A = this chain, B = another copy of it.
């Protein structure tokens, strides 16, 4: 029912990603500066939600304040997404509009987050069930988040 499953574009296709970001930026009358390009590229290279220190570690030339400013700008036009883990740092990744709907494995030990995809059948059953719950509570649903918490392969 709900078109929550948008086409997934593999993050290894950097050129196509940059084209999509270019379009979104120009539609909002923003420039695709070198700073922004490197930020998007860093997120794409990681391929999983990362913290601000992760980003600076991958590209130390980027300034903290500029990264935060651009992450907010890019989030507003649907390029990136901020996710709230329990960790002291927020995590950032490419938006589902670009990389498709997915979920997260969150390691309680090292804090790393990994993308995973739910079986399409369960995903749609879940959507249906959540829509029911929402209408019962007179709640307007926008999107859901589903995280699995535990210990990653490296930490167990």
Contact = CB atoms under 8 A, between A and B. Distances in A.
Interface of A: 82, 84-86, 105, 107-108, 114, 116, 118-119, 122, 125-126, 129-130, 132-134, 137-153, 156
A84 B145 CA distance: 12
Nearest to A109: B140
Contact of A105 (B132, B139, B149): B139
Contact of A145 (B82, B108, B147, B152): B147
Given A86-B84, A122-B129, A126-B122, A137 B151 contact: no
Contact of A139 (B132, B134, B138, B153): B153
How many copies of the shown chain assemble into the complex?
Answer: 2
Given A84-B84, A84-B85, A125-B125, A141 B148 contact: yes
A139 B145 contact: no
Contacts of A151: 139-140, 142
A133 B118 contact: yes
A110 to B, nearest CB: 12
Task: Give 5 closest A-B pairs by Cβ, nearest first.
Answer: A138-B153, A141-B150, A140-B151, A142-B150, A84-B84
A125 to B, nearest CB: 6
